[in-house]
Amino acid sequence: TAATNGAQRMSATTALPKDFLWGGAVAAHQLEGGWDAGGKGPSVVDVLTAGAHGVPRRITADVDPGEFYPNQVAADFYHRFREDIALFAEMGLKCFRTSIAWTRIFPRGDEAEPNEEGLRFYDELFDELLAHGIEPVITLSHFEMPLHLAREYGGFRSREVVGLFERFARVCFERYHTKVKYWMTFNEINNQMDTNALFLWTNSGVTIAPGENPTEVMYRAGHHELLASARAVAIGHEIDPSLQIGAMISHVPIYPFSCDPADMMAAVVANRARFFFPDVHVRGEYPRYALKEFERNGWDVGILEGDAAILAAGKVDYVGFSYYMSVTVKADAAKEADAADVVTGGLPGAVPNPHIEATEWGWPIDPVGLRYTLNVLYDRYQVRLFIVENGFGAVDTIAADGAIHDPERITYLREHIEQMALAVTQDGVELLGYTPWGIIDLVSFTTGEMKKRYGMIYVDRDNEGNGTLERRRKDSFEWFRRVIASGGAHL
Binding region for ligand BGP (CB under 6 A): 27, 30, 187-188, 250, 322, 389, 393, 437, 444-447, 452
Q: In this structure, what are the phi and psi dihedrals at residue 143, rounded to the nearest 5 degrees?
A: 65, 30
3-state secondary structure of 388: strand
3-state secondary structure of 453: strand
C-beta closer to ligand BGP: residue 412 or 445: 445
Rounded to the nearest whole angstrom, what is the least distance from the CB of residue 485 to ligand BGP in the complex?
Answer: 27
248-275: b (≥16 Cβ within 10 Å) or e: bbbbbbbbbbeeeeebeebbeebbebbb
Q: In this structure, what are the phi and psi dihedrals at residue 481, rounded to the nearest 5 degrees?
A: -60, -45
C-beta closer to ligand BGP: residue 318 or 361: 361
Rounded to the nearest whole angstrom, what is the least distance from the CB of residue 324 to ligand BGP in the complex?
Answer: 7
C-beta closer to ligand BGP: residue 16 or 343: 343
Look at strands 135-141 and 384-389 and give their pairing: unpaired
3-state secondary structure of 15: coil
Rounded to the nearest whole angstrom, what is the least distance from the CB of residue 25 to ligand BGP in the complex?
Answer: 8
Where helices occur in 154-287 by DSSP H, the ranges are: 160-176, 197-204, 214-239, 261-283
C-beta closer to ligand BGP: residue 33 or 154: 33
CA atoms within a 13 Å half-sphere pointing along the CA-CB vector of 83 = 14
C-beta closer to ligand BGP: residue 316 or 325: 325
C-beta closer to ligand BGP: residue 141 or 250: 250
Rounded to the nearest whole angstrom, what is the least distance from the CB of residue 30 to ligand BGP in the complex?
Answer: 6
Burial (CB < 10 A; 0-12, 13-18, 19+), residue 475, is middle
Give the separation between CA 377 and CA 374, rounded to whole angstroms.
5
Rounded to the nearest whole angstrom, what is the least distance from the CB of residue 262 to ligand BGP in the complex?
Answer: 30
- Which residues are known catalytic residues? 389
Residue 300 near residue 217, CB atoms below 8 Å? no
Rounded to the nearest whole angstrom, what is the least distance from the CB of residue 202 to ligand BGP in the complex?
Answer: 9
Where helices occur in 284-406 by DSSP H, the ranges are: 288-297, 307-312, 368-381
